[in-house]
Chain A
Amino acid sequence: MMVNGTVVALSRIQFAATALYHFLFVPLTLGLSFLLAAMETVYVTTGKPIYKDMARFWGKLLMINFALGVATGLTMEFQFGTNWSFYSGFVGDIFGAPLAIEGLMAFFMESTFIGLMVFGWERLSKGQHLAVTWLVAFGSNLSALWILVANSFMQNPRGAAFDPLTMRMQLTSFPQLIFNPDAQSKFVHTSVAGYVTAAIFVAGVSAYYMLHKRHVELAKRSFRMAALFGVLATIAVITLGDALGFVDARVQPTKLAAMEGLWKSEAAPMPFNLIAFPSQAQRRNVADVRVPYLLSLLVTHSLTGTVPGADALERQAVRRIKDGIPAVQALHVLARNPTDAAALAEFDAHRKDLGYGFLLERYAPDLNDATAAQLERAARDIIPPVAAVFWSFRVMVALGLLMLAYFVITVLYTLRNRIQRKTWLLKTAVWMIPVPFIANEAGWLVAELGRQPWTVFDVLPTWMSASTHSVAYMAFSLIGFVVLYSVFIAVEMYLMVRAIRLGPAEHGDAGGPGPQVRPSLSPRPLPAAPYGRRLEG
């Protein structure tokens, strides 16, 4: 059954909107949990109470972020069933396994230990509490691991095969699923991007305190630890970005062509489009600024390597669509008669291009009558929206390099213990807080827009993955989600700003002109003598 194009578009917008909202919270949890582990490790090894105060204060902010992150994440898993039911049926046997592990193992582990971490300060020994904090950090990152294993299956489907008898994909190798090169590099890239996010957040809030001469001792230590944490994490995130690009060059060449605005294949060494204005309609860049040799070096790590442009990939798609037509036709026969041996043999001969046959079915429901124009149109679909992917990629990379420069400078000054005197750098640190969040969102757009027109790359097109809802239902639920999630963001901002303004009230530092600490209400010891005299009469 053909799904209304507007419904597919609205389903995509709804998932993108909820994922983008959710992804504002996730990276901070991933990174802040490990930064907390670092602070508490210093507390346990040195015994200095200020590190305990640091861990408690930043733990409070982690808790706020975690709670809102969970609230925004839950609905996304339901969307697979409600809005992407064909997709869920088609790949649920594979996709469901990592999601179930994420929920049952990692998320439960994370949630249990985060409760112990927040409420266990007075109930657990130092060592036990430190172990709990480390488990929270590992739990939150393991949650991300399983989600990204599932996502990487969509980018590079490994460890599964389509079964024409059950009409869905089935898991053939769990190790191949979890050790997928895309999953490996994407997990580390995303996890470490979370570290960078947390480091910039902690450094920014600490800089705010130092600028206002509040909680200075706590802020100085937090800033130092965040700067070192951040500089190493930024180096790692850039390294893993390169690794991911290297993987994409082989498994998702259309995404790479879009990221680089590469319409025409060129001879090695290929130049890099530093700035370009891609036109999807004209299949070219309207204007560009190019750096010679750089693209070959970046994506193949050699001067003689090349990657195909959109033109070559479209030609290849035409061949694969033609090859996929018999696979789809055989599948229709098998749907009516699963024991048809001839259809099964025909399907097996063409199964690798089944997804390309589906691409054509969008324009030619009866594949026997497909025209050359329909075939060309389907082939053109394999190139994702180039301008959006191209610029999202550049925003992510530019912000990544900006964060690297920022952290190198902050590490230089903080290691010399001069950070408090550098007012300009402290002000910059506060303004840097939104930067990693923007970079994370841009990175998500590159990964997911770049996967189009597929939900499962080369296997299942997006146009046939959605549920058959009405446009009105989708529009209504989309508005509902946007309003609800905007409220979540507003609540998060309010709670975070309130907690930051209130500050870490319990630590030994007087805190300057900040909010007054409430006086202790414990009863004062009464002078014994007068009572003694009265009792003695």
Chain B
Amino acid sequence: MRTFLYFLLYMVIAVAVIFLAAVLGAHGAWYFAWLVGTAMIVLISAAGGALLDTQEEHAAQQAPAERDRS
């Protein structure tokens, strides 16, 4: 039942987003671009932070291996 309610909620959100995109795309292209662009900027910035963690973990794993080789 809980899963079904979540499904309904996400479907409602999806339909609202499609409606908003259709209206904004027709009448306010820059407003639409702002919504999409802001989400993109935030997510790329967030991905950059997560990538740094991965780079640090990778570097930490490489460091002992390089010490062992030398």
Which residues of A are interface residues toward B (Cβ below 8 A)?
A: 34-35, 37-39, 41-42, 45-46, 48, 51, 141, 175, 178-179, 181, 184-185, 187-188, 191-192, 195, 220-221, 224-229, 232-233, 236, 240, 243, 414-415, 417
Contacts and interface: CB of A to CB of B under 8 A. Distances in A.
B41 A225 contact: no
Contact of A221 (B27, B44, B52, B59): B52
B49 A188 contact: no
Interface in B9-53: 27-31, 33-34, 37-38, 40-53
A42 B50 contact: yes
Contact of B45 (A35, A184, A187, A415): A35
A34 B41 contact: yes
A193 B38 CA distance: 12
Given A179-B27, A184-B28, A220-B52, A42 B41 contact: no
B68 interface: no
Contacts of B38: 34, 141, 191, 195
Contacts of A51: 49
A417 B59 contact: yes
Given A41-B46, A225-B45, A187 B34 contact: yes
A236 B52 CA distance: 24
Specify the main secondary structure of chain A where it touches its partner. Answer: helix
A227 B29 CA distance: 27
Contacts of A417: 52, 55-56, 59
A447 to B, nearest CB: 16
Looking at B37, B45, B47, which has the most chain A CB atoms within 10 Å of its CB?
B45
A229 B41 contact: yes
A243 B34 contact: no
Contacts of B31: 179, 184, 187-188
Contact of A225 (B29, B33, B49): B49
B46 A236 contact: no
Contacts of B29: 184
Given A41-B42, A42-B50, A225-B49, A243 B56 contact: no
A42 B49 contact: yes
Contacts of A41: 42-43, 46
Nearest to B47: A228
B36 to A, nearest CB: 11
Looking at A42, A48, A415, which has the most chain B CB atoms within 10 Å of its CB?
A42
8 contacts: A34-B41, A35-B45, A184-B30, A188-B30, A188-B33, A221-B49, A225-B46, A228-B47
A243 B29 CA distance: 12
Contacts of B37: 188, 192, 232, 236
A46 B30 contact: no
Q: Which 8 A-B pairs have the closest CB atoms?
A: A184-B30, A229-B45, A228-B48, A38-B45, A38-B42, A188-B34, A38-B46, A232-B41
Nearest to A178: B28
A188 B34 CA distance: 6
A201 to B, nearest CB: 14
Contacts of B55: 417
Specify the main secondary structure of chain B where it touches its partner. Answer: helix
A389 B49 CA distance: 40
A45 B53 CA distance: 13
A39 B40 CA distance: 14
B56 A232 contact: no
B41 A37 contact: no
A78 B52 CA distance: 47
Given A187-B31, A221-B53, A415-B48, 11 more contacts: A38-B49, A41-B42, A46-B53, A51-B49, A178-B28, A179-B31, A184-B31, A191-B34, A221-B49, A224-B49, A417-B55
Nearest to B26: A179
Nearest to A36: B42
Looking at B29, B34, B51, which has the most chain A CB atoms within 10 Å of its CB?
B34
B40 A232 contact: yes
A45 B42 CA distance: 14
A34 B59 contact: no
B46 A42 contact: yes
Contacts of B44: 228-229, 232
A178 B34 CA distance: 15
Contacts of A187: 30-31, 34
A187 B12 CA distance: 28
Nearest to A35: B45
A227 B30 contact: no
Given A34-B42, A232-B41, A233-B41, A240 B48 contact: no
A417 B54 CA distance: 11
Contacts of A240: 30
Contacts of A38: 42-43, 45-46, 49
B21 to A, nearest CB: 15
A37 B33 CA distance: 19
Contacts of A225: 45-46, 48-49
Contacts of B59: 417
Contacts of B56: 417
A188 B59 CA distance: 39
Contacts of B52: 220-221, 224, 417
Contacts of A179: 27-28, 31
Contacts of B28: 178-179, 184
Contacts of A232: 37, 40-41, 44-45
